[in-house]
Amino acid sequence: MKREDFLKLVGIGGGALLFGGIVHPQMQLAYTPKKIKVYDNYAKGTQFYRKDFMKLAIAVDTPVQLKRNLENPYDQFAIKVMCQEKQIGYIPAYENIVLANLLNQGVVLSASVSDVVKKEEQSHGNSYLINVVAIQVFTELMLPATHIQLADSQKTGQQTRWMFIGREHIL
């Protein structure tokens, strides 16, 4: 192999390593986007945001935003959970490192509510709010398609979005 061909192979394939393969200049590889869940657990600190939490119409599948809190002196990986521009909690410190690094690198994460519990408990005549909200986080990965998947999508007439190196194609 000539040096020039090797550098082309490594240069083009270096970016594709994230997608699970090396791209050979004469090969045509296809990728398909797939939404995957990367996190699903209860947000912490909802008791501190009780007032805003109860005012919002939060239900399962309500979209929420994840925002890095770089000013937090106690947790350098802090992530706020926001709904309609109001903070309703945060991702627990023991689980936020990977999500924080993904957000720092510009990875697009979408989040929504996967469970909500809003109820009042009576204790000695006082009313206490118990606010619990679970957050699910998704991202989209480009997964390599096999020749079998390509052939099957052509046979069934199913419209699938495939990304070939350098262009998008709908089969």
CB atoms within 10 A of CB 106: 6
Q: Are 134 and 115 in contact (CB under 8 A)?
A: yes
- State the Cα–Cα distance between residues 67 and 81, nearest whole angstrom: 7
Per-residue pLDDT tens over the stretch 40-87? 999 998 888 877 777 888 889 999 999 999 999 999 999 999 999 999
Structural domains of the chain ordered from first start: 18-170 (3.30.70.2330)
- State the Cα–Cα distance between residues 45 and 80, nearest whole angstrom: 10
Task: Please name which of 155, 152, 154, 144 lies closest in space to residue 16, comparing C-alpha atoms.
Answer: 144
Per-residue pLDDT tens over the stretch 141-168? 887 766 555 556 655 655 555 555 555 5
